[in-house]
Structure 1
């Protein structure tokens, strides 16, 4: 299985001004934009870490997901949420010949934890031996920073500030999530039942 981010978070969606205010960086010296590229990198790192921890996509963008077979032909759980649209499902045979599944053959079952690709009839089509399937979809809470849930936005700023403050600490290379950030993210974590993950 391979999840590919087809479009990235645009610079215009990054809350650079809010991050500067959060860090209480000085203003009025005519050099306010000198650190912008560095601040953007910390914001991107914080967004990526939060998305990896929660399985939730913050800023809306396009993805493609390739897999070698369905886990369940009655409905395939998607790897991230919230998914707002499935734009294309493509079957690929062992010779790399692609055939697009007509849109009337599938639908999106929206779910805050595990959205699913569902067939409109009984089962999703067979994936032939040696072949694969590629699902193109759009996912994300909001297209702009201002439309994000407030707790997720605050978590990004807190984590980015943590990265900024400890940017020279090599001891943190294993990665860590400050308690304040973890508590804000708790309700977005994927629920697990029993010994396996929810499918």
Structure 2
């Protein structure tokens, strides 16, 4: 099966098509009588020359998901994360910080806001790695902290991590807000100058 697919690929290749076209020119030369008894060499030589001068095959350009597709996948992953977070038992202060962070991330993931690849990367890392790891580490550490009294409570680490993640998401929101303000300002200037 592999041999037949390779033969089919070669039959459709630029090298074979160019060689065949020049081989047909050789047949035309033979029919005019110019090749004489050497016609097989003329046809074969022209085919070989065509196959050699033909440009090589280029592999197709890989297709990567665009920002919209990445955002859809990220939104689905966020829904999965939200379901996980509702099942986890957290102290009230950490739950409050987590709810604020989740609300902000959810707002940023609404269609039409985030399209910058860097912002998508930061949000993707937060949703797929940072938030679940922070919460899971807290849950595991909290269990072990019962055996080491006097150690720093795991809640403080979780709250610090959530605060840092909230700061990252807030920076994205601020960048989007600034971009929209600039866009509005430009449009205002355009409308005012158009009236002149």
TM-score (norm 2): 0.24
Q: Which has the higher strand share?
A: 1
TM-score (norm 1): 0.24
Structure with the greater alpha carbon radius of gyration = 2
**Greater relative contact order: 1 or 2 (C-alpha under 8 angstroms, separation 6 or more)?**
1
